[in-house]
Amino acid sequence: MADTPENLHRRNTLLQAVRLSVAGTFAASGAAALASPAAPDEAAAATAEKAIDTLEGTYGTHKGQRRNHTKGIGAMGTFVGNPAAAAPYSRSLLFSGAPIDVVARFSIAGGNPKVEDKEKSTRGLGLEFRLPDGGMHHITMLNTPMFFARMPATFIAKFAAVKPDPATGKPMPEKVKAFNATHPDAASQTMFLTEHNPPPSYANSAFYGIHTFKFVNKANHVTLVRWRFVPRDGEKSLSDAEMASAPDDFLYAALTERLKHGPVKWDMLVAIGEPGDSETDPTVLWPKERKEINVGTLTLTSAAPPETAASNRINFDPLVMADGILPTEDPILLFRSPSYAYSYARRQSEG
């Protein structure tokens, strides 16, 4: 198969079909392995399909749209790796130094396609790297250094807790309170979001890989790593006053306006793990003192509204990985792939 963008997309779609076919098996056999000692009933019910049903139950079904991170915008650009820094750790083509085409999508967490751009919640960045050998690599990140769930059951419980009262359409704070009281793994991200207002522009947001991944070098040596993308424009947050007066939609205009003055860049900084650093818990941070290397720069040159963005029909499944980077056994990372496949299959089948 020639490596045209259409064929890459077809390959991606086929990959999703395979992932979906294993999703049922994963859901059945994975439930026991993913059981949380804190909440065995919840854990037993934590399947990828249930995660998507729960998102739909809370936000409704928006035809043809993502069940999570529904509101978003597209962008295009390139990534240029820094082989001198990266090669001792990873043989991935990402870091060869040749420019790699990137399709990007910025988003706001949750399944509300009309969520206000100032909402105090997580922002996301999905990246599809189209490698020169026809392969693909996905990196899908959030603007918080940690996640709110150590186990999939917590994800499902949270989205069930934020479901508005069906009678009034209003939030039910007592349910959120009960969720927080019974899911201590969510505390760290909740605190981070309380203390940090959202960015005025995606160009002023850092994005974190959150999970631990494995870098594999030419000698097959494996290094545990975590990465973040740091904006060259600097990190900024809206002030409380700006949040109060901000319009519902400003993130697309802010990015297109910024791009008129030139490309927007992020450096990919990779922390090198040390013995004892968490490998499978995305709610726990590594110590700040970890050695960090700059393995490359992402440069975005154009933005597109959701209707026309090339990212629209991409499933930014984080387990789409090319040689040189491997997943860990993080149960959240492994649960994401079948969940995204269900969301992708449902939205794709709706046209």
Beta bridge partners of 267: 230, 297
User: Does 332 participate in binding ligand HEM (rule CB under 6 A)?
Assistant: yes
Q: By CB under 6 A, tell whether 344 contacts ligand HEM.
A: yes
263's CB contacts (< 8 A; 6+ apart) are: 77, 299, 300, 301
Size of interface with ligand HEM, in residues (CB under 6 A):
31
Written as six digits, the tokens of 305 are 């509204």
Binding of ligand HEM at residue 316 (CB under 6 A)?
yes
Q: How far is the CB of 67 from ligand HEM (least distance, A)?
A: 5
CB of 241 to ligand HEM, least distance (A): 28
- Out of 23, 27, 51, 102, point to the residue binding ligand HEM (CB under 6 A): 51
Q: Establish if 95 lies at the interface with ligand HEM (CB under 6 A).
A: no
Long-range contacts of the stretch 160-168 (C-beta < 8 A, 24+): 160/54, 160/57, 160/58, 162/58, 162/110, 163/57, 163/58, 164/58
**Nearest CA among 157, 127, 161, 153 for reference residue 142:** 127
CA neighbor of 350 nearest in space, from 56, 76, 99:
56
Angle at 20 between CA 16 and CA 25, to 5 degrees: 145
Compute the C-alpha angle 300/304/305, nearest 5°: 140
Q: State the Cα–Cα distance between residues 25 and 166, nearest whole angstrom.
A: 33
Contact letters (x/-) for ligand HEM, 276-315, by CB under 6 A? ------x--------------------------------x
The CA-to-CA distance between both ends of the chain, in Å, stands at 26
Q: Residue 105 interacts with ligand HEM (CB under 6 A)?
A: yes
205 sits near ligand HEM (criterion: CB under 6 A)? no
| Piece in contact with ligand HEM (CB under 6 A), picked from 6-14, 124-132, 172-180, 289-297 | 124-132
Q: What does each C-alpha distance from 150 to 146, 189, 213, 330 come to in angstroms?
A: 10, 11, 16, 9
Any idea which residues carry the catalytic annotation? 69
Among the listed residues 30, 81, 110, 152, the single contact to ligand HEM using CB under 6 A:
152
Asked if 110 touches ligand HEM (CB under 6 A), the answer is: no
Does residue 200 touch ligand HEM according to CB under 6 A? Answer: no
Residue 175 vs 346, nearer CB to ligand HEM: 346
Place of tokens 């009309």: 114
Q: CB under 6 A: which stretch of 37-45, 140-148, 168-176, 260-268 binds ligand HEM? A: 140-148
**Residue 69 is a binding residue for ligand HEM (CB under 6 A):** yes
Among 68, 189, 278, 283, binds ligand HEM (CB under 6 A): 68
325 bridge partner residues: 215
Interface with ligand HEM (CB under 6 A):
51-52, 66-69, 72, 105, 107, 124-126, 140-142, 147, 149, 152, 155, 210, 282, 315-316, 332, 335-336, 339-340, 343-344, 347
